Structure 1
Amino acid sequence: MTTRRLGLIMNGVTGRMGMNQHLIRSVAAIRAQGGVALSDGSRVQLDPILVGRNADKVAGLARAHGIERWTTDLDAAIADPKDEIFFDAATTQMRPNLLERAIEAGKHIYCEKPIATNLAEALRICRLAEAKGIRNGVVQDKLFLPGLQKLKMLRDSGFFGRMLSVRGEFGYWVFEGDWQPAQRPSWNYRSEDGGGMILDMVCHWRYVLDNLFGEVRAVSCIGQTAIPERVGEDGRRYAATADDAAYATFALEGGVIAHINMSWAVRVYRDDLVTFQVDGTNGSAVAGLTGCVMQARQATPRPVWNPDVKQTIDFYQGWQEVPDNVAFDNGFKAQWEMFVRHVAEDAPYRYTLVEGAKGVQLVECALQSWKERRWIDVPALDLAGGARPAMAAE
């Protein structure tokens, strides 16, 4: 069995997401298993170089996870012809410039989302990647969650019948930083630094909705800055200038209505940090990160509204757990392997930078809706410049 090397530049892996999900649970895990298996029986082993501004931090990270190469010189890393892929998980504001430099150097691109803070920049990067003929991908991690994979299985089996609605609940209480340290970095709450709930999360909802429930055609959204002042990593108070909560309704292709509440100022009283309830004519299901329960039409109880009598139905009892018949790998790792196969042997891959641009587009539409207090149509993206008008609520 032959194994070939695939050089990989990893930028932004000293941050929480880049380190935990992309370095440790994806690339390091792939290396530990002997690389990525290809269709011809050969394997590709990843040879990453870690890039960071703090030499001590990036060197320590490399040492801790058996990575031989690291650097603080991003320009030199991008210029090195022996590395074929550029991966970025650094700040959103810097991403378009970094991707442009890597594309011009002939690197294949894989990156976190959002791919930009505005649609014009996102489309510029997409067009450049297409013109240069490089392979490209954007992280769409939530599609690979076991809970959402189970929802997809139910959908594909016809369990829901005609799908009617989707209700999502996302978020948790992020401490203000005074009594207890915040669980998220302070820049998340400053719009001037690229922070904001709508920018951070609506790009996720675009690919979740498009791929599982129906293409997004229109959006109505309102944002909120619930906690106007927080305490940063330096112990100083700062003004929270970005939205930390948002409430959005989406009109999807086929007449499905989706509503998603998202907040970093909500205390959790549900089964998981994110849940999606899908209702259809023949059945309903509720999924979290890993679990999923379902209730068929035939098993649906018959409640009657009577506020003068205590409710006697235990509504939780009528739901059945979707079994773990499939072993799900870490979602980030699974998508990394898909992208590696795409680069190494031209395996099919659909989660391109254009899909990332769709997320940025929906962010802009949601922000416009909040500003103008109205529904906003979401047109189809066309890199050549044309657009199909989206249908509003059907």
Structure 2
Amino acid sequence: MARTVIGVVMNGVTGRMGYRQHLVRSILALRAEGGLPLPDGRTLWPEPILVGRGEDRLRELAERHGLSRWTTSLEEALADPEAQIYFDAQVTPAREKAVRAAIAAGKHIYTEKPSAHSLTGALELAGLARDAGVCNGVVQDKLFLPGLLKLRRLVDGGFFGRILSVRGEFGYWVFEGDWQDAQRPSWNYRGEDGGGVILDMFPHWRYVLDRIVAPVRSVYAHAATHVPRRHDENGRPYRATADDAAYGVFELEGGVVAQINSSWTVRVDRDELVEFQIDGTEGSAVAGLRECRIQHRAATPKAVWNPDLPATEDFRAQWQRVPDNQEFGNAFKAQWELFLTHVATGSPFGWDLLEGAKGVQLAELGLRSWREGRRLDVPELER
């Protein structure tokens, strides 16, 4: 079977997400499987070229995984004739400049979200990629999670009848960094460095709502910096200037109302770190990262509110688990496989830079809604 090597410049792999999900669990996992089989009989072999700012860290990563190609110079990596794809997992403020350089070098683009720090920048990147004729995509990993794939299956099958509402809860307690190390980098809490939960999570909620339920038509958001003082990776105190919790209400096409809380200052009392509940006239479902439970109209018990008596029903036991019915792989790897196949064969890929710009648009409108204290329409972006 013929093997086709494709060079992938991977910028930002020293970060948590870039390293674990994209390098180790996606690209290196594909190599461990012998490469990616293509529909035409070839096998695609991704050859990572690691890029970052820290020479010692890059060298250590490369040696740990038996990789020989790494550099602290993006210009050098983009000049490599074997490099066909540029992937970006850097901090948000650094992303736009690097993606522009990669497009100018004729590379296909795959990037983490948000694709840019502003809607103007995100649209410009989409236009540049279109004009250059390069393949382009934005990571939208939650669409490939088992729980949300099951939720999509229910929507497509008409399980809900007319969908009425969506409720979402995301978040966990991120330690302040003084008495226990924080689970997230300190730049996440500095607005001047591209931090903030709205910019981080609203792009996710845009594609989840658009692709699984219905297009988002308006947004009202309120946010807060609940923990104003944190400690960085070196134990130094700093002032948090970005929002660490956001409370959003979204009106979707058809009158569906979605309400999603996003927080790094909440302690978890739910089955998974993120859960979505969809209620419809015929049934309801609750989906997390992996599991999905349903309650059909015909099996809905008659709940009666009586605050004078203790609850006698186990409400959670009245729901039915949705079976897997298939084997689910890593969500990031699943989308990587689709993008690599898109580059190699021209197969369709529905999550391009313009789709990514929609997420930036919702984040920008969410921040503006918070500042102005009002609901804002979400206009269509022209392709």
Deviation at 1:121, TM superposition (A): 0.7
Q: Partner amino acid for 2:284?
A: S
How many Å apart are 1:66 and its aligned residue? Answer: 2.3
Moved over 3 A (4+): none
Name structure 2 gaps, 5 residues minimum: none
Report the counterpart of residue 32 of structure 1 in structure 2.
Answer: 32
Name 1:316's counterpart in structure 2: 316
Aligned AA for 2:168? Answer: G
Matched, 1:188 2:188: yes
The one-letter amino acid paired with 1:125 is L
Map of 1:250-329 to 2, 5 A cutoff? Answer: 250-329=250-329
CA RMSD, 1 decimal: 0.8
Report how far residue 71 of structure 1 moved. 1.2
Q: For the residues of structure 2 that align with 1:115 and 1:146, how far apart are their CA atoms?
A: 25
Counterpart AA for 1:197? V
Question: Which residue does the alignment assign to 1:231?
Answer: 231
Distance 1:241 1:7 in 2: 39
Verify the 8 A CA contact 1:172 1:268 in the aligned structure 2. yes
**SS of alignment partner, residue 260 of structure 1:** strand
8 Å contact kept, 1:138–1:353: yes
The residue aligned with 1:220 is: 220
TM alignment of 1:57-96, pairs within 5 A: 57-96=57-96
Structure 2 residue matching 1:316: 3-state secondary structure: helix
Instruction: Out of 348-357 and 312-321, give the one that drifted further.
Output: 312-321
Q: Which residue of 1 aligns with 2:356?
A: 356
Aligned partners of 2:308, 2:159: CA distance in 1, in Å?
36
- The residue that corresponds to 1:391 in the other structure is none
The percentage of counterpart residues that share the same residue type is 61
| Map of 2:373 onto structure 1 | 373
TM-score (norm 1): 0.96
CA distance in 2, matches of 1:132, 1:159: 43
Q: For residue 93 of structure 1, what is the amino acid of its counterpart?
A: P
Measured in 1, the distance between the counterparts of 2:66 and 2:341 equals 23
- CA contact 1:220–1:375 (8 Å) conserved in 2: yes
The separation in 1 between residues aligned to 2:6 and 2:67, in whole angstroms, is 14
Query: Is residue 107 from structure 1 mapped to residue 125 from structure 2 by the alignment?
Result: no
Aligned 8 A contact 1:303 1:313 in 2 = no
Question: Does residue 150 in structure 1 map to residue 150 in structure 2?
Answer: yes
Displacement of 1:284: 0.6
What is the alpha-carbon distance in structure 2 between the residues aligned to residue 365 and residue 207 of structure 1?
15
Q: In the alignment, which residue of structure 2 is the partner of 1:51?
A: 51
Q: Distance in 2 between matches of 1:31 and 1:112?
A: 21
How far apart are the structure 1 equivalents of 2:65 and 2:346? Answer: 29
2:1 is the alignment partner of 1:7: no
Equivalent residue, structure 2, for 1:119: 119
The answer for the alignment partner of 1:390 in structure 2 is none
- The letter for the 2-side match of 1:66 is G
Question: Matches of 1:25 and 1:71 in 2, distance apart?
Answer: 21
Contact kept? 1:295, 1:320, Cα under 8 Å? yes
Q: CA deviation at 1:130?
A: 0.7
1:231 deviation in Å? 1.0
The letter of the residue matching 2:37 is A
Aligned match of 2:336? 336
Q: Return the alpha-carbon distance in structure 1 between the equivalents of residues 248 and 202 of structure 2.
A: 9
Question: Equivalents in 2 of 1:309, 1:28: separation in Å?
Answer: 57
> How many residues end up aligned between the 2 structures?
383
Distance 1:317 1:76 in 2: 58
Q: What are the Cα deviations for residues 127-170 of structure 1, in whole angstroms up to 9, with x where unaligned?
A: 11111111000000000010101101111111111111110000
TM-score when scaled to structure 2?
A: 0.99
- 3-state DSSP of counterpart to 1:358: helix
Match of 2:168 in 1: 168
Partner of 2:22: 22
Q: Which SS does the other structure have where 2:5 is aligned?
A: strand
Distance 1:159 1:31 in 2: 39
Tell me, what secondary structure is at the counterpart of 2:315? coil
Q: Which AA in structure 1 matches 2:316? A: Y
Would you say the 8 A contact 1:55–1:71 is kept in 2? Answer: yes
1:265-285 Cα offsets, whole Å, 9 max, x none, are 101111110000111111111
Distance 1:221 1:56 in 2: 42
Contact 1:50 1:71 in 2 (8 A): yes
Equivalent residue for 1:389? none
